[in-house]
Amino acid sequence: MKDAYYKKTLKCPVCLFEFSSTRIKTKAVKIKSKDEDFCNHYEDYNPLYYEIFICPNCGYGASNNSFDSIDEREKFILAEAFKGREVERDFGGIRNHIDALDSFKIALFTANLKKARYSIIAGLSLKTAWLYRFEKDENEKAFLEMALKYYKEAYDTENFNDEGIGELTVIYLIGELCRRMGKYEDAINWFNRVINHPEKNKNKRIEKLAREQWRKSRDAAKG
């Protein structure tokens, strides 16, 4: 498709440097299939490749929807950590698989530095796993494992409200990640928590998915 891309102008919230990052136009994005852990497979253009914005001056990197949401304390921590750092790489153009992977690793590094919420780190880990999945790369497993660990931490310690990922979705995802890691008994327990959750009626789609994946896990557990 001609003109599938456009440039978004940004200002780094840490060092105030102005730069631009490539984005894919919504009309160029075509979903081919969806996996049960919410990974979308695309025809032609993959918007996940461009989800992370990275400042070419200081190296701050974050997801497009959280790029500007950092407070003064976090800015200070990051500015100190990035001091004297030579970035020497510009992620602003067309990205290949390696660029996309590296952009997520930089976002993970940044999120860890500023001690982001577990659910944020979990989401970045999960998407990194998907990037490996697109290439049928075994490294996917390590990042699924990381996502599972952080979603469990998030479930234990964070409050889920209406904005962002809801609690039911987190419980479901933990189950699905357990299933993908071959931990079928754990998966069944987490899917049961969705199926028996007092607020399951608020998200029929998740409840339905949980029942389907519960069945798959039970069949797999029987071997």
Contacting residues toward Zn ion, per CB under 5 A: 12, 14-15, 17, 55, 57-58, 60
User: Taking the complex as a whole, how short is the minimal distance between the CB of residue 196 and Zn ion, in angstroms?
Assistant: 47
Q: Please state, in angstroms and rounded to a whole number, the distance separating the CA atoms of residues 153 and 167.
A: 13
CB of 74 vs Zn ion, minimal distance in Å: 13
CB of 87 to Zn ion, least distance (A): 9
Cβ at position 127, least distance to Zn ion in Å: 22
CB of 59 to Zn ion, least distance (A): 7
Q: How far apart are CA 23 and CA 177, in angstroms?
A: 29
Q: Which is nearer to Zn ion, 12 or 178 (CB)?
A: 12
Choose between 3 and 86: whose C-beta lies nearer to Zn ion: 86
Nearer to Zn ion, 4 or 15 (CB): 15
**50 φ/ψ angles, rounded to the nearest 5 degrees:** -115, 15
With both helix axes pointing from N to C terminus, report the angle between 118-134 and 97-113 in degrees, rounded to the nearest 10: 170
**Contacts from 1-8 at CB under 8 Å and sequence distance 24+?**
1/28, 1/44, 1/45, 4/28, 4/44, 4/45, 5/94, 7/92, 8/53
Nearer to Zn ion, 22 or 139 (CB): 22
* 214 touches 188 (CB < 8 A): yes
Of the pair 88, 156, the CB lying nearest Zn ion is at 88
